[in-house]
Amino acid sequence: MKKLPKWNEMEEGFITRILSESINKTGTWRTFKPIIDQSRCTKCGWCIVYCPEPCIYYESKKDSKILIDYDFCKGCGICAEECPVKCINMVLEE
Amino acid sequence: MPFKSINDIIVKQDFFSPGHGLCAGCGAAQIARIVMKVVGKDSIIINSTGCLEVSTTTYPWTAWKVPYIHVAFENAAAVASGIRSAYDALIMKKKLNKDVNVVVLAGDGGTADIGLQALSGAFERGDRITYICYDNEAYMNTGIQRSGATPYGAWTTTSPSGQRTFKKDLMGIAIAHRVKYAATASIAYLLDAANKVEKAISMNGPSFIHWLQPCTIGWRFDPKLTVKLSRLAVKTGLWPLYEYYDGAVKLTVQVPKRAPVLEYLKLQGRFRHIINNKNELVKIQSYADELAAKFGLGPVSE
């Protein structure tokens, strides 16, 4: 009888290793674009934790400038709604 | 280590990558993101069919940076039990020396309705798994059909004049199985939620988290209101945040002054047909009062 393969000898099944961030740029879905008013931003970080994408991040470390990755931002507006100092404006995409 | 400030959450690495296909403002994305930040690299995600599965794993890409397995609606908990047993066996045979977190992410349909018997089995056997139910209160992925978790009065395509029954008490079911840990969570209270997930994965037995997830399409609201609605659900007393551990139920977020349920309902299109109907509103308010009395929330203030 032919010897059956062990679990570690089996061929890989349907496994994909391509990350969505490398090909699926969802920024094209956006109607309104969030713009951070950097002069009023207190860098509290609530927009970062509430972003469902996630596409908002500190530039380098904590308390550095907060940036938005427009390649992925879908323009939901949660950041603008939840910002404690209301320094994020949603402007119509052109 | 418990999370003390939101910065503790921010510094954790993301294992859920951007570019997934979930709707703008989807709460499930936020839940997946926070769960992945807390459970970390050494985890296996088991995901039953649902919104989260179809939109994060569209071939050929995936939004998950950890091992991920998609299973059918009904057997997410059973597959998790199997993976846990396999890992336990490999560790016992000393072929692996690292433990993993086995985490199930399933929707309310896959938990409250279709997956309930597999879940009950996993709870009863005492398998060391963490089961997280993201509850968007209907079958959103297939087109907003009612599920067992749909609240009273809500419109869905299969309850066009409003759901006639109240929401199934999933936490009650979990507690009746005497699980090690069970908790409710909300997107608006992320510190509380992250601590609950951390506690759940550290248990030596089954743990369950029931997480309310506002759905922009099914609940009919503006995407920017996702977090606000989650907060209002807690503030009105319709979604009390509590945990069950060691035989005792403890409230984790106290609401000293509850908001009237109308504030929560009027923002959602699925309740549009009842916001002028006094009788229906009284019914929902008395349901919220009942929950508040049960968990010790404060009185309603106009």
Give the minimum alpha-carbon distance from A88 to chain B in angstroms, rounded to a whole number: 12
User: What is the count of structural domains for chain A?
Assistant: 1
A93 touching B, CB under 8 A?
Answer: no
pLDDT at A74 over 80: yes
Residues 6+ apart with CB under 8 A from A24: B19, B20, B21, B58, B61
Please choose, from the candidates B167, B170, B212, the residue with its C-alpha nearest in 3D space to the C-alpha of residue B187.
B212
What is the model's pLDDT at position A75? 92
Among A20, A51, A77, whose Cβ lies nearest the Cβ of B19?
A20
Distance between CA atoms of residues B130 and B126, nearest Å: 11
Contact list in A for residue B19 (CB cut-off 8 A) is 19-26, 72
B-contacting residues of A 29-88, CB under 8 Å?
29-30, 44-46, 48-55, 58, 62, 69, 72, 74-78, 80-82
CATH of the domain at A71: 3.30.70.20
What is the model's pLDDT at position A94? 81
Q: Do B224 and A21 touch (CB under 8 A)?
A: no
pLDDT at B147 over 90: yes
Q: Do B63 and A19 touch (CB under 8 A)?
A: yes
Is A6 domain-assigned?
no
Among B10, B19, B224, whose Cβ lies nearest the Cβ of A21?
B19
Structure tokens at B111: 């938990």
Q: Out of 3.40.50.10540, 3.40.50.2300, 3.40.190.10, 3.40.50.970, select the CATH number for domain B6-295.
A: 3.40.50.970
pLDDT tens per residue across span B268-297:
999 999 999 999 999 999 999 999 999 999
Q: Do B19 and A74 touch (CB under 8 A)?
A: no
Q: With pLDDT > 70 as the criterion, what percentage of chain B qualifies? A: 100
Is A58 domain-assigned?
yes
Q: Do B65 and A19 touch (CB under 8 A)?
A: yes
Mean pLDDT of chain B: 93
pLDDT-derived band at B249, boundaries 50, 70, 90: very high
Residue of A nearest to B11 (CA): A62
Give the minimum alpha-carbon distance from B280 to chain A in angstroms, rounded to a whole number: 30
Q: Do A52 and B33 touch (CB under 8 A)?
A: yes
Q: What mean pLDDT do residues A44-60 have? A: 91
Full domain range(s) for residue A45: 25-92
Contact list in A for residue B18 (CB cut-off 8 A) is 20-21, 26, 53-55, 69, 72
Is A31 domain-assigned?
yes
Residue of A nearest to B63 (CA): A20
Q: Do A24 and B62 touch (CB under 8 A)?
A: no
Distance between CA atoms of residues B56 and B157, nearest Å: 25
Q: What mean pLDDT do residues B246-272 have? A: 93
B75-105: burial string, b at 16+ Cβ within 10 Å, e else: bbbbbbbbbbeebeeeeeeeeeeeebbbbbb
pLDDT tens per residue across span A1-42:
788 888 788 777 677 788 888 888 898 999 999 999 999 999
Is A7 domain-assigned?
no
Distance between CA atoms of residues B110 and B107, nearest Å: 5
